[in-house]
Structure 1
């Protein structure tokens, strides 16, 4: 379309707000972005900005999400002063292929539906001891059971065994899984599949209305980036389709109704790089990236405890300080921007989880195993959280 310009290979840095410009009111005027091909920052002025950056699965060590799911939109909106909600509700898919070279490959739940059995490395079947429905229990129950067995036995993964089905049946029903596993030397007609739970869907996000409007005029959020109320404490697959299509269309209609002269402003100032230099210690980014994801997996995973969450909050506060100091002194890179966003989102996950004194849906706490009589969202406001010291 002649009126659409697509900027490929650009990484958003931050939205530009009235506060940043010293203007009255609360409005988004566009954003700063990193042009990855030309290694330069660009200023994009816009009367309306829509965050559609997906979820935050990469905050965990294991995820079914693509590498770009680093919570960028959620973190940018939070820094701009928008509320976020229900960040403790992360859906984990129970069975992701566990292999050092297999990134984010999902083993369909249909495998369990067709008789696949979950076993420990010694061949012991364990699901019947966790739930009467065994392998056919809901996702969150199966994921918790696998997590329990992995931690109990100190193992890296469990095994999903469908080898009792005839090879022709597997070829017909699961050709992609059969072929992909074969690439890694796993013949599912003869041997079980090594699997591990993996972060799959972020149910919370930036608080919006049903037209995608955030707390900041001119800024919208749609899809997995947003919290619309259409997901509760768990996620149904069709709800995310509804959220993307319906809220996306509603946001477009709201933007069209407001018009394109809204928030008109003189040209925005360029990104200031006068006080930074090229990094001479990229290992810091790589180390913190790895530490952050392992920390979240071990302390803020499928099953939570107050002690683990408290430890995670303390360590994340230190990591966040290190990352922000690094960010303040060196030129931005894609890895640095994503790391900065990840530590922000990880902190929001922990803050939300610590606020919920119950177990509900995708949030399970050993210290608070029961549900409260009334279901309420966890809503975090930047001012309230920043004014509270870490306890």
Structure 2
């Protein structure tokens, strides 16, 4: 009997990997019903793929390298860009209804910092939802895939320096009993870190627990300090914040202050289509100065808004805003974590038996600043590579893993909402769009203090990942990409390298603060 493969996460990377592994049996653990709790479902832009006439993987790679502020692994990106067409065809095969013209060719749009129109979309801003609906339907019809929904992974079990199981709780969450599921291989596809921040575009399940459980198991974490803040979350007081897709600016929408004046042309030659970190800081500065920030789509989109961008239109109308005739209030929100569990080009982490794909992983593709719509592409490319790595692999027998292996994990306890709220405020205030040394040191101290109050595994894991991000940000003594320090606003050429640290190093850095 083959050793079990467990995929932790029911988003794009997890489901795509499970489908690619078929007919090899695999179990998917999902904290929410598959598709519903995944950030992938909320992705509006689409999938970047150099498939149009005049475009090429080399051009896609050059744009990605430029956006990544000196830290992108160019060879890894080129390989990803070269595989993009095959992965788009896979998605089409699973039933994803990408937009096509009357002759049946894929319609591709342009987004910020792309030199070509290479974003494959679905009805303007519905790519993530459509992709996930198609994959969920395919997974439900695939007999080799077992899906366990409502399962929260709290930790990994190691024996003889290898991951051999997952500690998980069922529908009852913290009030239920933890159990150990043995695994010959574990694939982490748990998503991002959005809910470590007070304002985010991510669903609640994106709380950083994948990074934490990997770090606790000894995995190396890379580029943790690089957090991308989307500049145009719709500022209507919702948690999570709904998103005004980048594609609106690709269509010509402009950013203006409360008086209707554009502010981005003075900050970057590409104005509204500058890299996201620059646009986010521009929006942040306008709000901080009391002038407000708005996305003006009236001229660029106008009456076509309901048809071209139905998701954004419906959100605005529900909030009493008519984007056809009114500018949309916007603010920066945590959107994507460029850092995560370090992997090689096959998705292997530094711990035997553990792979990672999607936002939880750090592959070297994004560098210090993710290029728009590269995230969905990275998810499917690396999920497919992991499946290839595992498909014919001989995995060790782990039938001897016992429940006692969970020793050391926290007993059932309620999630401490006050600790979580305080953590989210700390991260937004001190480890957010603009940072500085004293604030980062204070964040480290406050997170360590909160760690002494953590009662359950969910809170403990959130604090662990937050500490890693804050410590890595404190250690990077420059500004680069998504990491901007007001006390050190320039890039340091000597620091043009990816960061790597383990949990012990992060705790030491934080304790020294």
TM norm structure 1:
0.85
Q: Select which of 349, 366, 389 maps to 2:486.
A: 366
Residue 97 in structure 1 maps to residue 219 in structure 2: no
In structure 1, distance between residues paired with 2:372 and 2:299: 29
TM-superposed CA distance for 1:150, in Å, is: 2.0
2:54: which partner in 1?
Answer: none
Query: What residue is the counterpart of 1:15 in the other structure?
Result: 156
Cα separation, partners in 2 of 1:217 and 1:346, compared to 1, 3 Å = same
Q: Which residue of 2 aligns with 1:382?
A: 503
Q: Does 1:45 align with 2:186?
A: no
On the 8 A contact 1:165/1:189 being kept in 2, the answer is no
For 1:265-304, what per-residue CA distance to the aligned partner results, in whole angstroms no more than 9, with x for missing partners?
Answer: 354427569995765xx6xx11111111111111111121
Tell me the number of residue pairs that the alignment of Structure 1 and Structure 2 aligns: 368
- Change in 2 beyond 3 A, CA 1:276/1:233: closer
8 Å CA contact 2:200–2:239 kept in 1: the answer is no
Offset at residue 319 of structure 1 (A): 1.3
- Alpha-carbon distance in 1 for matches of 2:359, 2:261: 37
Contact 2:430/2:440 (8 A) holds in 1:
yes
Question: Is 158-167 or 196-205 further displaced after alignment?
Answer: 158-167
Partner of 1:347: 467
Per-residue CA distance 1:294-341 (angstroms, 9 max, x = gap):
111111111211122112111111112211xx23xxxxxxxxx43322
What pairs with 1:197-208 in structure 2 (closer than 5 Å)? 197-208=332-343
Q: 1:292 to 1:220 in 2, by over 3 A?
A: same
Report the Cα offset of residue 359 of structure 1.
Answer: 1.6
- Residue of structure 2 equivalent to 1:231: 366
Secondary structure at the aligned position of 2:493 is classed as: coil
Question: In structure 2, how many angstroms separate the alpha carbons of the residues matched to 1:208 and 1:102?
Answer: 31
- Decide whether the 8 Å contact of 2:339 with 2:361 is kept in 1: yes
1: CA distance between counterparts of 2:504 and 2:409? 29
Residue in structure 2 matched with residue 321 of structure 1 by the alignment: 452
Q: Which moved more, 1:60-69 or 1:44-53?
A: 60-69
Residue from 346, 349, 355 that aligns with 1:211: 346
Q: Which TM-score applies when normalising by structure 2?
A: 0.66
Distance in 1 separating the partners of 2:324 and 2:360? 39
Question: Alignment RMSD, CA only?
Answer: 2.6
Q: Secondary structure at the match of 1:246?
A: helix
Q: Secondary structure at the match of 2:154?
A: strand
Distance in 2, matches of 1:159 and 1:265, equals 59
Cα gap change, 1:385/1:348 in structure 2, threshold over 3 Å: closer, same or farther?
A: closer
What is the aligned partner in structure 2 of residue 290 from structure 1? 421
Gaps (5+ residues) in structure 1? 19-24, 328-336
